């Protein structure tokens, strides 16, 4: 299988609310020579159903994996939640015969079978491992040396450690290094690896807002000009909800939250329009104007 | 107001006394047979999970350590009627930090699954499951979004085979949980 061609798995959050992430990711991947093939069919990765029925989560994820197996292509995911689910289920079904047989029993109802022939990657794995830092560096036309940024890598792309086995969940460096390639400085801040809290927002809206407020506070404290994310669900918490957080806690953050491909695109000298920067709720035009 | 406070304190006091009749001695053995909860007995109550839990920091009732202890004690009824179990954000910090590799978040998920099967599910999950069944996606993606995708030059969204989804809902038993909720 060629390593520069992937089946793109969008998930639900991106088409629902965060297409700026998709737009910018497609643009920069194209520039890096990564070919994306659309999923022929699709259903939710399964993650949101795990609390009520684990078997259904496994089966929904497995169905998506089967669709990729039929295409004989590895999956590339933009969302941490979808990545965590598809990758975990892919590994579990490959390694655990009992669970594989159980899930294949369900899939038999729809004429499918999990074989275990593909792998699941997140955008940052594709960038850091397959494309590589050298090649990314070559595409940087306009180094963003004047920017001081903060990263939020999110949970499911690094945890649980035993399942993901990528980067160090206690001190994740991949996104930091990807930010550094653009020329920008990535700052350390308190509780950098803390969860955004968004999965809890379906049952409790208060706790995630408190968590996000705390993180924005720590980011402001080190003087970062923007926050960089690689998950649409985390992004919603800090961008879409930022005004609400400011109102609720009587704060003023005004911290732009960019999807990593938007940042990389700026370093490749793409325009704000091309990268859908205007779709961000927290205005990033001041940040871009200094470049 | 003060009377309310008194009643509240009495109730809290009552909570702290466990009756033998509250205990299901077989519960921990049933749990440890379920994939993901095999190590529930290994928890020695160090509290690392709770100290490192982002949700526990902002909620007075969500205590992963306590949920595991209640499981070991066999307080099934109290666990399955405890709304706090739904608060887990699935960050997996407790899984990574547990010195006994108990797999706390998996056990919490299993408690949620049991509650769903035996008691029913929070309304939000009913809505979610019904949207997935109807569209394949976890959200109702509005027509305007689809149109905007076209304007932005994005490929049209792949569609789910809905008849397949319905079959899987039946096969995995999710339909049953769901029907119970609807009646």
Please give the pLDDT value at position A221.
Answer: 98
Report pLDDT for B141: 95
pLDDT at A232: 98
Domain boundary among A96, A123, A150: A123
Q: Inform me whether the pLDDT recorded for B183 exceeds 50.
A: no
For residues B44 and A14, give the distance between their C-alpha atoms in angstroms, rounded to a whole number.
41
Which residue of chain B has the CA closest to A212?
B54
* pLDDT of B5 over the 80 cut: no
Identify whether A20 is part of a domain. yes
A47 plus A177 within the same structural domain: no
Q: Distance of CA B120 to CAs A94, B4, B80, B105, B177, Å?
A: 32, 31, 10, 20, 7
Is 60 exceeded by the pLDDT of residue B1?
no
Give dist(CA A171, CA A153) in Å, integer: 10
ipTM comes to 0.95
Q: Which domain holds residue A268?
A: 138-289
**Are A154 and A91 part of one and the same domain?**
no
Using the Cβ of B17 and the Cβ atoms of chain A, whether some distance falls under 8 Å is answered with no
Pick A200's closest partner by Cβ from B89, B92, B157.
B89
Answer yes or no: do A143 and A270 share one domain: yes
Any idea what DSSP says for residue B142?
-
In this predicted model, what pLDDT tens digit does every residue of A165-178 receive, in sequence order?
A: 999 999 999 999 99
As a whole-number percent, the residues of chain B with pLDDT over 90 amount to: 84
pLDDT at A152 over 80: yes
- pLDDT at residue A26, rounded to an integer: 98
CATH number for position A20 = 1.20.1050.140
Q: Do A106 and A11 lie in a common domain?
A: yes
The pLDDT-based confidence of A78 (bands split at 50, 70, 90) is: very high
**Residues of chain B contacting residue A60, judged by C-beta atoms under 8 Å apart:** 168
Whether B96 sits inside 8 A of A39 (CB atoms) is no
The answer on A184 and A57 residing in a single domain is: no
Q: Is residue A231 part of a domain?
A: yes
Q: B94 touching A, CB under 8 A?
A: no
Q: ω before A160 within 30° of 0 (cis)?
A: yes
In whole angstroms, give the CA distance from residue A219 to residue A216. 5
Number of domains in chain A: 2
pLDDT at A2: 41
Angstrom distance (rounded) from CA B86 to CA B71: 16
pLDDT value at position B19? 86
- We report the CATH number of the domain holding residue A214 as 3.40.50.11810
A260 plus A170 within the same structural domain: yes
pLDDT tens for A238-291 read 999 999 999 999 999 999 999 999 999 999 999 999 999 999 999 999 999 988
Residue A64 maps to a domain: yes
Q: B-chain residues within 8 Å CB-CB of A161? A: 96
Q: For residue A95, is it within any domain? A: yes
Average pLDDT over residues A183-201: 97
Q: Is A133 contained in some domain?
A: no
Res. B2: pLDDT tops 70: no
Please state the rounded mean pLDDT for residues A7-30: 97
Mean pLDDT value of segment A61-73: 97
**In the prediction, which pLDDT does B180 show?**
66
| The pLDDT of residue B8 is above 90 | no
Task: Encode pLDDT of B78-99 as tens digits.
Answer: 999 999 999 999 999 999 999 9
| Domain match, A36 and A154 both | no
Which residues of chain B from 109 to 168 reach within 8 Å of chain A, CB to CB?
Answer: 109-110, 112-113, 116, 121-122, 124-125, 128-129, 132, 136-139, 141, 145, 148-149, 152, 154-155, 157-161, 164-165, 167-168
Provide, as residue numbers in chain B, all residues whose Cβ is less than 8 Å from the Cβ of A19. 145, 148-149, 152, 154
Q: Quick one: pLDDT at residue B4?
A: 60
Show the domains of chain B with their CATH numbers. Answer: 13-118 (1.10.1060.10), 123-182 (no CATH)
Using CA atoms, how far apart are residues A64 and B137, in angstroms rounded to an integer?
A: 12
* Model pLDDT for residues B16-32, shown as the tens digit of each residue: 788 888 899 999 999 99
Are A191 and A266 found together in one domain? Answer: yes
The answer to whether A50 and B151 are in contact (CB under 8 A) is no
């Amino acid at each position: 299988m060629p390593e520069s061609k992937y089946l793109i798995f969008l998930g639900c959050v991106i088409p629902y609310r965060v297409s700026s992430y998709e737009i910018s990711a497609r643009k920069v991947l194209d520039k890096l020579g990564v070919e994306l093939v659309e999923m022929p069919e699709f259903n939710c990765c399964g993650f949101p159903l795990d609390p009520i029925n684990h078997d259904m989560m496994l089966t929904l994820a497995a169905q998506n994996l089967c669709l990729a197996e039929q295409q004989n292509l590895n999956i590339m995911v933009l969302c941490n939640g979808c990545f965590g689910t598809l990758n975990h289920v892919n590994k579990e079904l490959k390694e655990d015969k009992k669970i594989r047989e159980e899930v294949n029993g369900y899939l038999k109802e729809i004429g499918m079978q999990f074989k275990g022939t593909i792998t699941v990657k997140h955008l940052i794995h594709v960038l850091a491992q397959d494309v590589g830092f050298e090649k990314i560096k070559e595409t940087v036309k306009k180094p963003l040396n004047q920017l001081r940024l903060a990263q939020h890598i999110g949970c499911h792309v690094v945890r649980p450690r035993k399942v993901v086995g990528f980067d160090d969940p206690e001190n994740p460096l991949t996104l930091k290094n990807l930010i550094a390639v653009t020329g920008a400085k990535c700052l350390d801040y308190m509780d950098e690896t803390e969860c955004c809290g968004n999965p809890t927002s379906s049952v409790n809206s208060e706790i995630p807002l408190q968590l996000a407020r705390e993180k924005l506070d720590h980011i402001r404290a080190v003087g970062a000009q923007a926050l960089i994310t690689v998950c649409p669900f985390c992004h919603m918490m800090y961008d879409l909800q930022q005004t609400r957080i400011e109102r609720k806690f009587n704060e003023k953050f005004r911290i732009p939250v960019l999807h990593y491909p938007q940042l990389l695109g700026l370093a490749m000298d793409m325009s704000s329009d091309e990268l859908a920067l205007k779709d961000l709720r927290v205005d990033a035009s001041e940040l871009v104007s200094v470049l | 107001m003060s009377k309310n406070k008194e009643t509240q304190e009495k109730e809290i006091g009552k909570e702290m006394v466990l009756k033998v009749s509250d205990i299901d001695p077989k519960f921990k053995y049933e749990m440890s047979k379920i994939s993901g909860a095999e190590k529930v007995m290994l928890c020695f109550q160090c509290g690392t999970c709770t100290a490192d839990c982002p949700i526990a920091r902002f909620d007075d009732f969500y205590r992963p350590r306590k949920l595991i202890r209640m499981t070991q004690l066999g307080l099934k009824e109290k666990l399955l009627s405890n709304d706090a179990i739904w608060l887990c954000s699935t960050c997996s910090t407790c899984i990574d930090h547990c010195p006994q590799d108990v797999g706390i978040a998996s056990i919490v998920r299993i408690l949620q699954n049991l509650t769903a099967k035996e008691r029913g599910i929070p309304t939000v999950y009913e809505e979610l499951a019904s949207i997935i069944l109807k569209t394949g996606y976890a959200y109702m993606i509005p027509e305007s979004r689809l149109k905007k995708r076209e304007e932005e030059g994005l490929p049209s969204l792949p569609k789910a085979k809905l008849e397949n989804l319905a079959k899987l809902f039946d096969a995995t038993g999710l339909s049953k949980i769901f029907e119970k909720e609807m009646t």
